[in-house]
Structure 1
Amino acid sequence: MRASRPAVLLALVFGSALVVWALLKGMYSQLPPLPWTAVPTLLLLALGEIVTGVNLRNKIHHRSAAEEARPVDPLSVANMAVLGKASAHAAAALTGVFLGFVLHVLPDLDLPTPRHDLIVSVATSVSALALTGAALFLEYCCRIPKDPEAEKNDRRS
């Protein structure tokens, strides 16, 4: 499995933003105001992925608090890498969805509902970006360190 690519994440953001913006042209008036519930949810997920990444990285590099820490299970590291990649892609798509809302409501800020939806959309987009960053960090923490002997041989060459 390869690490998430920035071009794919940007394509998800811009693609979903355009699709949502186009869909909202015809159906925005039928939707209820956006709820705030996604903001704390995304931020808690981001925090969980950061904590998991730091703990996993410490275990991989044998910097655990316990003297005789058990070695890390390779399957759990692979599962966390998959979680990081899936979270990065989903959060990028969510960022685009709420940026699509931002693009749609910008011209109507004199009305209360679009103004509320703009504030919620911006906050949710920022939260989704935070989750994207945390997911990329989790992916980074799942990388296997190079063998110290191989690094010494590379330096000699």
Structure 2
Amino acid sequence: MHFTRPRELLVAGIIGLGLVYLMFEVAYESVPRLPALAGVTLLVLAAVEVVLAYVIRDRIRSGRVVTGVGIARAVALAKASSLLGALMLGAWLAGVVYLAPRAEELTAASADLPAAIVGACCAAVLIAAALWLEHCCRAPEPRDRDDDRRVTG
């Protein structure tokens, strides 16, 4: 498994944007109102990942035992979350792009626009948290033994 590449996130975001924008174009009239806090679930996941990132980083830096399986699970969670965040960011941005121009003329669009903005912000936070967790799971750079010795003189 490799660490998340920016192009993977970009592709996921474009897929989310395209599919959801098409859905809005075809069926916005029949879609129920967007809940204002629908995107907050992504924020909860981001908070969990930030806490996990700090715990893992602290254990690695202090030299405490960290199992390879635990790190692999954390990396898999981070990779899946960053891709989900990118997909959802694209989806919520599709909502913003569709609703913003129509907010003046449609009451439903003006009511749904804040939910789309909150969702997009929460998805962006999830991407950042997932990438931070992934970064914290990297093996530390090996230090040269000569760097650790202090020269007295």
Q: Same fold by TM-score, threshold 0.5 exceeded?
A: yes
TM-score (structure 2 length as normaliser): 0.88
| Root-mean-square deviation (Å) | 1.7
Cα shift readout 1:75-134 (whole Å, capped 9, x = no counterpart): 101100010000000110011111111121122112221012111001100100000000
Gaps (5+ residues) in structure 2? 148-153
Aligned to 1:34: 34
Structure 1 partner of 2:137: 142
2:88 to 78, 83, 94: 94
| Matched positions, count | 146
> What is the match of residue 102 of structure 2?
108
Residues in 2 aligned to 1:150 and 1:93: alpha-carbon distance in whole angstroms? 44
- For 1:40 and 1:18, the matched residues in 2 are separated by 22
| Pairwise CA distance, 1:151 | 8.7
In the alignment, the residues of structure 1 paired with residue 87 and residue 41 of structure 2 have an alpha-carbon distance, to the nearest angstrom, of 16
SS in 2 for 1:148: coil
| SS of match in other structure, 1:61 | helix
Q: In the alignment, which residue of structure 1 is the partner of 2:24?
A: 24
Contact 2:40-2:118 within 8 A present in 1 as well: no
Gaps of 5+ in 1: 64-69, 153-157
Query: CA separation in 2, counterparts of 1:89 and 1:16?
Result: 10
1:72 CA drift (Å): 1.0
Runs ≥4 in structure 1, deviation > 3 angstroms? 149-152
Counterpart CA distance in 2 for 1:150 and 1:138 is 28
Determine if the alignment matches structure 1 residue 62 to structure 2 residue 56. no
- Selected match of 1:82 from 57, 68, 76: 76
Following superposition, the deviation at residue 25 of structure 1 comes to: 1.1
Quick one: distance in 1 between partners of 2:146 and 2:10?
34
- The whole-number CA distance in structure 2 between the counterparts of 1:151 and 1:36 is 57
Distance in structure 1 (CA, Å) of the matches to 2:141 and 2:102: 54
Structure 2 letter corresponding to 1:46: A
CA distance in 2, matches of 1:104, 1:87: 25
Amino acid at match of 1:89: L
Q: Matched residues in 2 for 1:36 and 1:5: separation?
A: 31
C-alpha separation in 2, matches of 1:21 and 1:151 = 58
